[in-house]
Amino acid sequence: MRTLVLALVAATVVATVGSDDARAADADGKLPITRVQDLHYGDVLFHFFQDENFEALTRLLAYAHWDRLPHHLAEADLLAGGMYLSLGLHNEAGARFERLLTAETPQGVRNRAWFYLGKVWYARGYDDKAEQALRSVTGTLPADLEAEKTHLLANVLMHGGRYDEAVALLDAFQGSSDWVAYARFNLGVALVRKGQLADADRYLSGVGTMAATSPELLALKDKANLALGFAYLQADSAANAKLALERVRLDGPQSNKALLGAGWASAALGDFEGALAPWLELRDRNLLDAAVQESLLAVPYAYGKLGANAQAADYYETAMREFDREGESLDGAIQRIRSSRLLDDLLAQESEERQGWFWQLRDLPDAPQSRYLYAVLAGHDFQEGLKNYRDLAFLSRRLGSWSESMVAFDDMVDARQKAHAERVPRADALLAGNAPERIERERGELESKLDAIERNHDAAALGTATERDQWARIQRIEQAIANGEAGVTGEALEALKDKLRLVKGTLSWRLDEAMRARVYQQRREIKDLDAALREAQRRWVRVERARKNVPTNTGEFEARIAALNTRLTALQARLQSARDQQNEYLAGRAIHELESQQARLAAYRVQARFALATIYDRAANEPAPALAPAVPPPAQGPP
């Protein structure tokens, strides 16, 4: 199913881009490269490729609602349709396909989408919609899908009693040997239902006698022989029926019905001794099978026809005991189903990851009533209802998880409100200080000062702290000499002046040499300061806006969370009600099936009791033969 969804996305890319490469990729059955342009669409694809279709679909719908997928709207809609289909939501998938699968969509992708939609509708029992979807396929599908489509359509036609159309469709079918076998089987069944048994024999006998080794085809052979055998039984052609039924394997799933039918075919031919062989084999099998139950009556019936009244009576008594024992077990199973939630018990061992509409329950819980549920679970309606219940349980768990998230969201809003209350005084104080204007003013003063230094060539002002300290000391010494405060005179004073000139000249040369680089560095730092100042001003504006808007946003969040909580509560109540109704309905179906088994067993018991009474009555009223000795009845049972 995921292959279909990928093909749908690819189709959208082809239709949207329209490139030769994309069209060639579709023609080759390969997917063109999809370039994700929206981060949120990538998030959807991440969950989709993890086979988390529900999570992916939830996120896709949410992102589309908040307009987070501007570059992938068409792809997202078609992807949603494919995931709806994989989850069994055929109505939503069908609505999207009808809207999106246009002539611009490549034919191969469009055909596969209609095929899978028809398959899901067929599984759900919507034959009219399944036929409409399957007939929407134009041209031909790949060989396997085309064969399956033909057989699905034939089954839809037969369900509707349109056997002539089904026969015409299947008669023209050509494909692999396996699919041809299915076509011949379905054609034979359609002809049987039309009343053309002679024509049907040719097809069903062909399937029933074909060479086969795979379990699937061996089972098909058995079904063909069984269908033909019972068709002949209903047509009062016991010899042909026996020939077909004896071809059914003794260890196959159809063997019980075949053994029962073979016995009745022999009985219809008057060969009651021959009928005993399959019936005696059958009566030792699982009593839950209706054919086995009927064999418990058929065996003594045959003995009665053979005049072995003692054996017949013994087998009738055994049958009544078996019916009574099984009836009591069925009573207990019905009570256990009524006292528990049947569907929760059935799904207890199922993994949540096993989703998808073609899922089926495979393992039954280890409980006394489980042995009676196989026949119930084999029913299509029960399986479909169980899928519905499984999805309701899955949604209930998801809603519970989301409800817990609402508590976390409430905590987040509370934390945000507390943080807002703590930060507002600081923000107000910061905003009142009008820091950007002050910094802008100080920046201007700094640039003016640098301009003055460069204009006056005040190299010392740009020196390092040590250099500025040395320059200041030189100036103080010069001032002291000029004021006559040097403390020396004559040659010593001249020597001091020479040293001072040397030191000053050296320092002045070093400062002058470094001034250009230092002015350039200061200019760069002023530019960096300008960039930082502009960023600070932008943030200042955002802080001012946030100061005004945050309380309003918090209130909106609270309102949305409260609305979601209300909605989740209502949905959980609806889901619980639906789960209870579905559980009650399917449990009722299971109980009805078990009660039907009880009624059948009760009817069989009445028949056995009546037959036994007839035997006893006939034995009691028969005239005693001349000179018959008064001896006890034989050990094998009453005459």
For position 129, which CATH number holds? 1.25.40
**Residue 316 within any structural domain of the chain:** no
pLDDT at residue 488 greater than cutoff 90: no
Domain residues for the domain of 116 are 1-141
In the chain, the N- to C-terminal Cα span, in Å, equals 66
| Alpha carbon distance 172, 149 (integer Å) | 14
| Residue 15: predicted pLDDT | 41
207, 227 Cβ separation under 8 angstroms: no
Q: Computed from CA positions of residues 365, 370, 374, 377, in that sequence, does the dihedral angle turn out positive or negative?
A: negative
183, 217 Cβ separation under 8 angstroms: no
The residues near 127 (Cβ < 8 Å, ≥ 6 apart) are 121, 156, 159, 160
| Residue 624: predicted pLDDT | 44
| Alpha carbon distance 150, 155 (integer Å) | 9
377, 360 Cβ separation under 8 angstroms: no
**Residue 628 within any structural domain of the chain:** no
pLDDT at residue 227 greater than cutoff 90: yes
Residue 510 per-residue DSSP state: H
Confidence of residue 552 (pLDDT cuts 50, 70, 90): low
**Residue 79 within any structural domain of the chain:** yes
| Residue 267: predicted pLDDT | 92
| Alpha carbon distance 145, 116 (integer Å) | 9
Read off the pTM: 0.64
pLDDT at residue 365 greater than cutoff 60: no
The CA angle 588-593-599, to the nearest 5 degrees, is 120
Pick the closest to residue 407 from 565, 207, 567 (CA basis): 565
- Structural domains counted in the chain: 1
pLDDT tens digits, one per residue of 260-293: 999 999 999 999 999 999 999 998 888 878 888 8
Confidence of residue 230 (pLDDT cuts 50, 70, 90): very high
Confidence of residue 371 (pLDDT cuts 50, 70, 90): low
Residue 372 per-residue DSSP state: G
* Cα-based distances in Å from 167 to 184, 228, 635: 10, 17, 59
| Alpha carbon distance 148, 595 (integer Å) | 37
The CA angle 40-41-47, to the nearest 5 degrees, is 95
- Tell me which range, 112-116, 169-173, 230-234, 303-307, is most confidently predicted by mean pLDDT: 230-234
| Alpha carbon distance 605, 297 (integer Å) | 9
Token code pair at residue 471 = 């320059």
**Residue 429 within any structural domain of the chain:** no
32, 10 Cβ separation under 8 angstroms: yes
**Residue 196 within any structural domain of the chain:** no
What's the per-residue H, E or C state across 184-239?
Answer: HHHHHHHHHHHCCHHHHHHHHHHHHCCCCCCHHHHHHHHHHHHHHHHHHHHCCCHH
**Residue 348 within any structural domain of the chain:** no
| Nearest-10 crossing angle of helices 107-124, 2-17 | 140
**Residue 227 within any structural domain of the chain:** no
327, 598 Cβ separation under 8 angstroms: yes
Q: Computed from CA positions of residues 581, 583, 589, 591, in that sequence, does the dihedral angle turn out positive or negative?
A: negative
> How many residues would you count in the chain?
639
How high is the mean pLDDT of the chain? 80
**Residue 197 within any structural domain of the chain:** no
pLDDT tens digits, one per residue of 505-524: 888 888 888 888 888 888 88
pLDDT tens digits, one per residue of 236-262: 999 999 999 999 998 888 999 999 999
DSSP string computed for 20-38: HHHHHHHHTT-PPPPPP-S
Token code pair at residue 311 = 């054996």
Radius of gyration of the chain from Cα atoms?
46
| Alpha carbon distance 336, 316 (integer Å) | 30
| Alpha carbon distance 546, 525 (integer Å) | 31
| Alpha carbon distance 337, 343 (integer Å) | 10
Give the residue with greater pLDDT, 565 vs 368.
Answer: 565
pLDDT tens digits, one per residue of 393-436: 888 888 888 888 888 888 888 887 787 778 778 777 777 777 77
Q: Which residue has the tokens 């817990």?
A: 404
